[in-house]
A and B are shown apart, each in its own frame.
Chain A
Amino acid sequence: MSNNLIILPIIIPIISGLVMIIIRNHTRLHRIISILATVLIGLSAVLLLEQIRESGVQILYLGGWEAPFGITLVADMLSALLVFVTAIVTFCCLWYAFSSIGAERERHYFYPLSLFLIAGVNGSFLTGDIFNMFVCFEVMLVASYVLISLGGTKIQLRESIKYVLINMVSSFLFLIAIAYLYGMLGTLNLAHLSVRVAEAGQGGLMTAVAFLLLIVFSLKAALFLFFWLPGSYSAPPAAIAAMFGALLTKVGIYAIIRVFSLVFYHQLGTTHLVIGILAAVSMVLGAMGSVAYWNIKSIITYNVVVGVGFILAGFASFSEAGMTGSIYYLIHDMIAKALLFLLGGTIINITGTGKLKEMSGLIRLQPHLGWMFFIASLSVSGIPPLSGFIGKVFITEGTFQSGYFWLGAIGLLTSLMVLYSVMKVFMSAFWGYTDVKEVTENKSIRGLLMPIGVLTAITIGLGLGAEVIHEYVDLAVAGLLDPNIYIDAVLQDSLIGWGR
């Protein structure tokens, strides 16, 4: 049965973005529409979550053309959870943008572009077809190209050229990988691919294609191939950087998790070991970067890389505990990274500089900001009552269960380095004498603090109320560990389903 609810998270942002383009000069309306759109996306995601919990994976055959022939959208627990968190993060980032992005950027389609970005992100989460995943990646990337260069400052233009080139190359490789897949297996529907790979066996050639896909997704997810990330993500304003840091890399992570749990799960010793090694390397390098730099933006962007490594370390273990941890940590990381970027942006907004050595004593001026930064720092490094903790425990447990002791150990070690790096920011920005000029004291940042407060509340709530979402995470993990749940749902009525 087709469930039209699945298309809503994709078309709501598109429709509202288009309406905004038509009424270009009413930026106040733009704000209202964009907030409404994110709320609606969140609501549809909640409905979807409930339906999936009650009656399993939901499917939509666009235009009534059944899988594997038509375009299929699939919402399983993992996708729906990610769509929901995306809506929350976007809501907060857009709210933050109201008082920080500036009238000029608002007039130049900031809100429509953000919503198109979200359409691409949601599309990538919900598609059941690897070619459509490519298309949704492109939708997301084209919007991000514009967002990263919007405003046209020198650093933005320099970084956007690198960003565009890197993503062009990776999209090109993605297409090649898809062509190989289609040439060998004659289908691009993920469920159908899974069936065919299982039938034909995952030989050397197939594993080579898997690695090609891994390279593509690693470029997007900043797994080891993160050389482009610190530069690009520190160029745009905080609201945009927060959306990038919280969402774009996560789409790459989702793609890795989806493809390597549904299609290429037959050679755990090679593909997943390599994912584990890459995860370990990105954790170490990311942590070194975040410890070494004395600039807020660089520290936060390197922390994104550590998070990516950590999530995929849990996935690489391919055990129930590891996967559970990965999903918990993925959800936590989306919230926490958005929070960190927004906090960093606010600090820079107040002090006018990103250099830690030039700021001190902010706690006297902005006590709320200071404490929220403190909570965010603890959350990012996985201190118990907060949301990062539970994911960290499960991921460590999972890696130990699978015998990847080195991976778990590196994860724990880098957590300490992450803790040091964010505490470094806290101590130098908030402790010490207040030598910021009195003028800035009067600057109202209430509009900036409220979305940050919401995200902080969520990260506390996720930590204390981990039990609440446990049922959903468990269902998501069950779907990842048993691909047949996904396959049966997609191919239920079709000939392939009967023939099996």
Chain B
Amino acid sequence: MKQFFEFVKKECFHIFRDRRTLMILFGMPVVLIVLFGFAITNEIRHARIAVLDQSQDVLSHGLVRKITASTYFDLAENLRSEKDIMPAFKKGDVRMVIVIPGGFQRNFIRERKAAVQLLTDASDPNTATTLINYANAILMQYQQEETGMKHLPLTIQPEVRMVYNPTLKSVFLFVPGVMTLILMLVCAMMTSITITREKELGTMEILLVSPLRPLMIIAGKVVPYILLSFVIAIIILALGAGIFGMPLKGSLALLLLACALFCLTALSLGILISSVTNSQQTAMMMSMMGLLLPTILLSGFVFPIESMPLPLRVLSNIIPAKWFIIILKDIMLKGSGLRQIALPMGVLSGMTLFFLVVSLRKFNIRLS
């Protein structure tokens, strides 16, 4: 036991004396959370729009007020005729033009049908789609308010062809995603690097020619990283809840348990990587290509799994991150208990056990 603690102590010295490692360990989570939370977001705020109101009646004014009252749109200019529309787009800062044809109120009340035209600058299709969605949602809401008030089965029919799933606040998706990404990075990459570093510097040679058992060497190297990654997980959760108002509907204890389990999964992957390579460079490349990319692309973090082709959907099942993101979303957003997340927890445990057994078997008691 004394051997083990000395080993852990030594490992802590490595971590805390290496500025680079420390930067990665603690800088990365903060930077990523801030990047994904603030900068890289598919929410659009304060998009500048122009309005061509040919109706100029109570209802059309109400609609424009309703739209510009939201934080999503800022009214840049009021257009006077259709000829102004294209020049407004060409100036570049107007993203959307709303055209309200004449007789809006009259049509709305008498014919129970009124048209609104939405024109967007689709040179950036994602922004255009998102703007249309926002405008649509506001139009629907306005329509409900007006019809509810007048008890008339009236409809406003926007002429929009693009359809998009109304999204949740994006940060609810990014916090679990970033957390998964960082834990994967810290646990898997750092462990694989720290073990291969011993091989590269030749210290593994001396450790092998000592009474230390392989299990002890690996455990001694990994335990400090388990603690570290757990601390990092808590930092991310705190950032998510504190800055971005990420809700936690389920139990905190269960959430932490799930985090601990995923840390273990990632660590075991890191150990596995280190057992098949001898250089830090390769270990890093393998972690990057083999773990980070699938974690970003195939876990449902960035691209929804449901819309992938079948082979990728099947492949996504072997990505630990997919299961962890499901667990996180279930606990935090849906408030699920242990019973609801039993399947993904079971899958993660199984993977961890498998990786650990394989890497312990592959661990060389000699130099290969």
To the question of whether A and B form a pair in one complex, the answer is: no
Residues of A bordering B, CB below 8 Å: none
Residues of B bordering A, CB below 8 Å: none
